[in-house]
Amino acid sequence: MTTMLGLTLEGRDVVFIGGGDVAARRMWRMLQDGARVSVVAPEVSDDVRELIDAHDLPWTARRVRASDLDEAWLVHTATGDRATDARIAAWCEARRVFCVNASDGAHGSARLTAEARAGDVVVGVVSDAGVDPRRTARLRDAIGALLRDGTLPVRRRRRTSLGRVDLVGGGPGPLDLMTVRGRRLLAEADVIVTDRLGPGGALEGVDPDVEIIDVGKRPGHHPVPQEQINELIVAHARRGKRVVRLKGGDPFVFGRGGEELAACIAAGIPAEVVPGVSSAIAVPQAAGIPVTHRGVSAGVHIVNGQGELSVATLAALADPALTTVVLMGVAALPRLAAAALAAGVSADRPAAIVESGHTAQQRTTRTTVGTMARDAAAADVRNPAVIVIGDVTRAELLLPQREGVEGATR
Ligand code: SAH
């Protein structure tokens, strides 16, 4: 029978007998945990040699003697010779030192687990019966995947006094376009502050006692002012809660993530940002529009359509080598088009409007600067939508060019 213990190896002597590849892998792992590793082996593999050099490990370059084990808390034997490994295991037994025996089919008084880590959670897999490393590794991988995608209840039950805030980018909509780190933090959260653009389904399956606060903004309505959102996340973190501020896309792309992070910094609250897939790039992409394309567009100008059109935006719109991506621009389309035309942007500059990218309702309207206001109204274009202006929006951009046809028509 095996009893699994969580050992703290930090600062403790672990003696490796034998310096082959198995030893190298495990040595690396124990060094990560802060163990004081030493090696006894007449010769060592290149990998072990590297670890010895990198960490300045004591290496006794000869065959093992019983006295080599005197200072050890734990011994790892992988000499490549079963009889030797068995003898070392017996020496350990006599000294009451735990021993990992890496000989095929054997295991000593201690066994290494196949280990999965996510955040501060460590899960070890070990079999009570025979050794089957492939099986334990597969199980470890499966558990690791669940841990990381937030399927398992990793939320802390015991409060520490230290709260924190994570600003998590949820991506453009589908849950599987959210980062693994974001999913994990969501599963660990005590409080989730969310709005309309967060990914669908992200909040299904969170514990019923997790507090979910919707501060959703609809265009023209601001149910919870930004100031209050900042105060809210800080206040919950001050009470020792783990707060996730979940946002659509990326927190730092028109997501007010900067303001929220600044509020946390000012309040002395530990805070981090988890990037998300931004609609500025991923929504055009969903419609088959690369925001840059060799020979067509050498740069992207991303702009908030609600503001006044700056000189730089007008220049980008007029520059045939640039793509302009407008977020929050549906209501401003007529004004945008008029300003662009007045500034001399060619009326037949191609454009596309992509609504609800990466969802089942996704729709693309191909148009031009000259006709986009009219086309959008005729098609009843709605939020959320991304407006893309530039040659990359030509419908035939990625299609094979027919020979003899110059600049295929749309
Ligand atoms: N932080 C977000 C952007 C927030 S501003 C990001 O990085 O994606 C909100 C704007 O994003 C919307 O007005 C719209 O222009 C765009 N948007 C977000 N999700 C979208 C989607 N699925 N389809 C189309 N546009 C989207």
Query: What does the pLDDT look like over 168-188, one tens digit per residue?
Result: 999 998 999 999 999 999 989
Q: What is the identity of the amino acid at 43? A: E
| Per-residue pLDDT tens digits for 280-327 | 999 999 999 999 999 999 999 999 999 889 999 999 999 999 999 999
> How far apart are alpha carbons 17 and 14 in whole angstroms?
10
Least confident of 187-196, 246-255, 271-280: 187-196
**How confident is the model at residue 221, as a pLDDT?**
67
Nearest CA to ligand 1 atom 18: 279
**How confident is the model at residue 410, as a pLDDT?**
42
**How confident is the model at residue 169, as a pLDDT?**
97
Tokens of 153: 């209840």
| Per-residue pLDDT tens digits for 92-107 | 999 999 999 998 877 7
Whether residue 70 lies in the annotated active site: no
Q: How far from the centroid of its chain's Cα atoms is residue 351's Cα?
A: 32
| Size (the chain), residues | 410
Q: For residues 33-49, give the mean pLDDT.
A: 95
User: Residues 372, 353: contact at Cβ < 8 Å?
Assistant: yes
Q: Helix, strand, or coil here: 129?
A: coil
Hey, which of 215, 279, 306 would you mutate to test ligand 1's pocket, going by the most ligand atoms within 8 Å of its Cβ?
A: 279
If phi > 0 it is left, if psi is from -120 to 50 it is alpha, else beta; for residue 119 that is left
Query: Within 6 Å (CB) of ligand 1, which residues are found?
Result: 172-173, 197, 247-250, 253-255, 278-280, 283, 327-328, 354, 356-359, 383-386
| pLDDT at residue 130 tops 80 | no
Whether residue 217 lies in the annotated active site: yes
Hey, which of 177, 197, 306 would you mutate to test ligand 1's pocket, going by the most ligand atoms within 8 Å of its Cβ?
A: 197
Least confident of 111-115, 245-249, 259-263, 277-281: 111-115
The closest of 322, 371, 318 to 340, measured between CA atoms, is 318
- Compute, in angstroms, the gap from residue 42 CA to the centroid of ligand 1: 62
Where b means 16+ CB within 10 Å and e means fewer, 129-148 reads: eeeeeeebeebbeebbebbb
**How confident is the model at residue 373, as a pLDDT?**
97
Sign of CA dihedral 52, 54, 58, 61: positive
- Compute, in angstroms, the gap from residue 308 CA to the centroid of ligand 1: 19
- Compute, in angstroms, the gap from residue 319 CA to the centroid of ligand 1: 24
- Give the pTM: 0.74
Q: For residues 3-23, give the mean pLDDT.
A: 93
**How confident is the model at residue 206, as a pLDDT?**
83
Q: For residues 322-339, give the mean pLDDT.
A: 96
| pLDDT at residue 224 tops 60 | yes
Least confident of 199-208, 315-324, 364-373, 393-402: 199-208
Q: For residues 346-350, give the mean pLDDT.
A: 97
Given the CA of residue 173, which atom of ligand 1 is nearest to it?
22
DSSP category for residue 68? G
User: Residues 148, 182: contact at Cβ < 8 Å?
Assistant: no
| Per-residue pLDDT tens digits for 186-223 | 989 999 999 877 787 888 878 888 999 989 856 666 67
Model confidence at 408, pLDDT cuts 50, 70, 90, reads: very low
